[in-house]
Structure 1
Amino acid sequence: MKLLTTKNFGCALLACLGLHGSLLAQGTAEDYKRANDLPLKIGNKIYNNPGKVVWAEGNSKFIYWAQTKQGKTFVSADVSASAVKKQSAFDQQKLATQLAEKAGKTVKADSLPFSDFELSKNGDSLKFVAFEKRWNFHLGSATLFDKGKFDAAAGLRRYWGRGESETAGQKTKSPDGKWNAYIKNYNVYVYQEGREKEEKQLSFDGSPGEYYSARIMWSPDSKKLVSNKTRPNKDRTLYLLQSSPEDQLQPVLQTRNYLKPGDALPQNQPVLFVVEQQKAFPVPATMIPEQYGINQMAWRKDSRAFTFEYNQRGHQLYEVISMDAATGQSSVIIKEESKTFIDYSGKRYRSDVADGKEIIWASERDGWNHLYLYDGQTGKVKNQITKGNWLVRNVVHVDEAKKKIILAGSGKENGQDPYFIQYYSVNFDGTGFKALTTENGNHQATFSNDYSVFVDTYSRIDSPPVTVVRNAEGKVISEIEKADISELLAAGWRQPEVFQAKGRDGQTDIWGIIVRPMNFDPAKKYPVIEQIYAGPQSSFVPKTFSSDPSRLMQLAELGFIVVQIDGMGTSNRSKAFHDVCYQNLKDAGFPDRIAWMKTAAQKYPYMDLEKVGVYGTSAGGQSSAGAVLFHPEFYKVAVSSCGCHDNRMDKMWWNEQWMGYPIGPQYAASSNVDNAYRLQGKLMLIVGELDDNVDPASTFQVVNALIKAKKEHELIVVPGLGHSSGGEYGEHKRRDFFVKNLLGVNPPTWEGQKPVF
Structure 2
Amino acid sequence: MKNNLYITAFFTLFLSCHFYAQNKEAIPYQPSKSEILERYKQALKLDDAVKNKVFKTSIHAHWQPDGNLFWYSNVLKDSVREYILADATKGTKSKLFNEPKLKKALSVITGKALSQKNLAIDSLNYDSKAKSITLKYDKSYFQVNLSDYSIKSVASLPKDFNKYPKLNDQWARWNFFKTDSISPNKKWSAYIKDHNVFIKSISGGEAIQFTTDGTKEKPYGALAWSPDSNYVVGYHITLVEDLPVYYVLSSLPNTTRGKLKSNPYKQPGDPFTTYEMHLFHVANQKVVKVNTPIIDFFDAPKLDWRKGDATYFTYEKVDRGHQRFRIIEVNASNGETRSVVDEKTKTFIYESRLFTHYNKESNTVVISSEKDGWRHLYLINSLNGKEKQITKGEWVVRSVDSIDEHKKEIWFSASGRNPGEDPYYIHHYRIDFDGKKMVNLTPSKGNHSISFSLNKKYYIDTYSEPDVPTTIELHRTDNGAKIMELEKSDASAYLATGMSLPEPFHAKGRDGVTDIWGIICRPAHFDPNKKYPVIESIYAGPQDSFVPKNFMDRYTAEMQSLAQLGFIVVQIDGMGTANRSKAFHDVCWKNLKDAGFEDRILWIKALAKKYAYVDDSRVGLYGTSAGGQNALGGLLFHPEFYKAGVAACGCHDNRVDKQWWNEQWMGYPVDKNYEEQSNVTNATKLKGDLLLIVGEADENVPPESTYRVADELIKCGKTFEFLPLPGVGHSDGGPYGRKRKRDFFVKHLLGVDAHNRNNDELLQ
Offset of 1:404 from its aligned partner? Answer: 0.8
Which residue of 519, 524, 528 maps to 1:522? Answer: 528
Offset of 1:523 from its aligned partner? Answer: 1.2
In 1, the alpha carbon distance for the partners of 2:153 and 2:303 equals 45
SS in 1 for 2:301: strand
Which residue of 204, 207, 214 maps to 1:199? Answer: 207
Instruction: Identify if the C-alpha distance between structure 1 residues 690 and 448 changes in structure 2 by more than 3 Å, giving closer, same or farther.
Output: same
In 1, the alpha carbon distance for the partners of 2:608 and 2:360 equals 57
TM-score, length-normalised on structure 1? 0.87
Instruction: Identify if the C-alpha distance between structure 1 residues 446 and 548 changes in structure 2 by more than 3 Å, giving closer, same or farther.
Output: closer
> Aligned residue for 2:72?
64
In 1, the alpha carbon distance for the partners of 2:613 and 2:179 equals 68
Q: Which runs of 5+ in 1 are unaligned?
A: 1-17, 149-163
Instruction: State whether residues 30 and 750 of structure 2, in contact with CA within 8 Å, keep that contact through their aligned partners in structure 1.
Output: no
> Aligned residue for 2:60?
52
Q: How do residues 260-659 of structure 1 correspond to structure 2 at under 5 angstroms?
A: 260-285=267-292, 287-288=293-294, 291-292=297-298, 294-302=300-308, 303-345=310-352, 347-355=353-361, 357-381=363-387, 383-472=388-477, 473-546=479-552, 549-551=555-557, 552-659=559-666
SS in 1 for 2:284: coil
Higher relative contact order (CA 8 A, sep 6+): 2
1:377 maps to a residue whose letter is L
> Aligned residue for 1:241?
248
Instruction: Identify if the C-alpha distance between structure 1 residues 354 and 606 changes in structure 2 by more than 3 Å, giving closer, same or farther.
Output: same
Which residue of 172, 178, 202 maps to 2:181? Answer: 172
Offset of 1:130 from its aligned partner? Answer: 12
In 1, the alpha carbon distance for the partners of 2:452 and 2:382 equals 29
Offset of 1:305 from its aligned partner? Answer: 2.6
SS in 2 for 1:737: helix
Instruction: Identify if the C-alpha distance between structure 1 residues 190 and 499 changes in structure 2 by more than 3 Å, giving closer, same or farther.
Output: same
In 2, the alpha carbon distance for the partners of 1:618 and 1:95 equals 54
Superimposed CA distance per residue, residues 592-611 of structure 1 (whole angstroms, 9 cap, x where no aligned partner):
00000000001112111111
Offset of 1:668 from its aligned partner? Answer: 1.2
CA RMSD, Structure 1 to Structure 2 (Å): 3.4
TM-score, length-normalised on structure 2? 0.86
Offset of 1:27 from its aligned partner? Answer: 6.5
Superimposed CA distance per residue, residues 452-505 of structure 1 (whole angstroms, 9 cap, x where no aligned partner):
210001100010011111112211111111111111111222111110000011
Instruction: State whether residues 673 and 702 of structure 1, in contact with CA within 8 Å, keep that contact through their aligned partners in structure 2.
Output: yes
Instruction: Identify if the C-alpha distance between structure 1 residues 293 and 171 changes in structure 2 by more than 3 Å, giving closer, same or farther.
Output: closer
SS in 1 for 2:519: strand
Instruction: Identify if the C-alpha distance between structure 1 residues 61 and 166 changes in structure 2 by more than 3 Å, giving closer, same or farther.
Output: closer
Instruction: Identify if the C-alpha distance between structure 1 residues 427 and 656 changes in structure 2 by more than 3 Å, giving closer, same or farther.
Output: same
In 2, the alpha carbon distance for the partners of 1:599 and 1:673 equals 32
Superimposed CA distance per residue, residues 658-701 of structure 1 (whole angstroms, 9 cap, x where no aligned partner):
00011111111210000000001001110111111001100000
Instruction: State whether residues 639 and 686 of structure 1, in contact with CA within 8 Å, keep that contact through their aligned partners in structure 2.
Output: yes
Task: Give the length in aligned residue pairs.
Answer: 709
In 1, the alpha carbon distance for the partners of 2:543 and 2:130 equals 37
SS in 2 for 1:52: coil
Superimposed CA distance per residue, residues 286-321 of structure 1 (whole angstroms, 9 cap, x where no aligned partner):
x35653555333434543433221110000001111
> Aligned residue for 1:154?
none
In 2, the alpha carbon distance for the partners of 1:84 and 1:187 equals 65
Instruction: State whether residues 426 and 449 of structure 2, in contact with CA within 8 Å, keep that contact through their aligned partners in structure 1.
Output: yes
2:32 maps to a residue whose letter is L
Instruction: Identify if the C-alpha distance between structure 1 residues 224 and 356 changes in structure 2 by more than 3 Å, giving closer, same or farther.
Output: farther
2:370 maps to a residue whose letter is E
Instruction: Identify if the C-alpha distance between structure 1 residues 506 and 217 changes in structure 2 by more than 3 Å, giving closer, same or farther.
Output: same
Instruction: Identify if the C-alpha distance between structure 1 residues 408 and 253 changes in structure 2 by more than 3 Å, giving closer, same or farther.
Output: same
Please identify, of 685-694 and 228-237, the stretch whose mean Cα deviation from structure 2 is larger: 228-237
1:538 maps to a residue whose letter is D
SS in 2 for 1:36: helix
Instruction: State whether residues 493 and 518 of structure 1, in contact with CA within 8 Å, keep that contact through their aligned partners in structure 2.
Output: yes
Instruction: Identify if the C-alpha distance between structure 1 residues 547 and 33 changes in structure 2 by more than 3 Å, giving closer, same or farther.
Output: farther
SS in 2 for 1:621: helix
1:576 maps to a residue whose letter is A
In 1, the alpha carbon distance for the partners of 2:188 and 2:104 equals 51
In 2, the alpha carbon distance for the partners of 1:110 and 1:746 equals 51
1:519 maps to a residue whose letter is H
In 2, the alpha carbon distance for the partners of 1:340 and 1:538 equals 17
Instruction: Identify if the C-alpha distance between structure 1 residues 31 and 371 changes in structure 2 by more than 3 Å, giving closer, same or farther.
Output: same
Q: Which runs of 5+ in 2 are unaligned?
A: 1-25, 159-173
Instruction: Identify if the C-alpha distance between structure 1 residues 336 and 170 changes in structure 2 by more than 3 Å, giving closer, same or farther.
Output: closer
- Identity, % of aligned positions: 42
1:731 aligns with 2:731: no
Q: How do residues 688-703 of structure 1 correspond to structure 2 at under 5 angstroms?
A: 688-703=695-710
In 2, the alpha carbon distance for the partners of 1:637 and 1:97 equals 60
> Aligned residue for 2:95?
87
Instruction: Identify if the C-alpha distance between structure 1 residues 291 and 85 changes in structure 2 by more than 3 Å, giving closer, same or farther.
Output: same
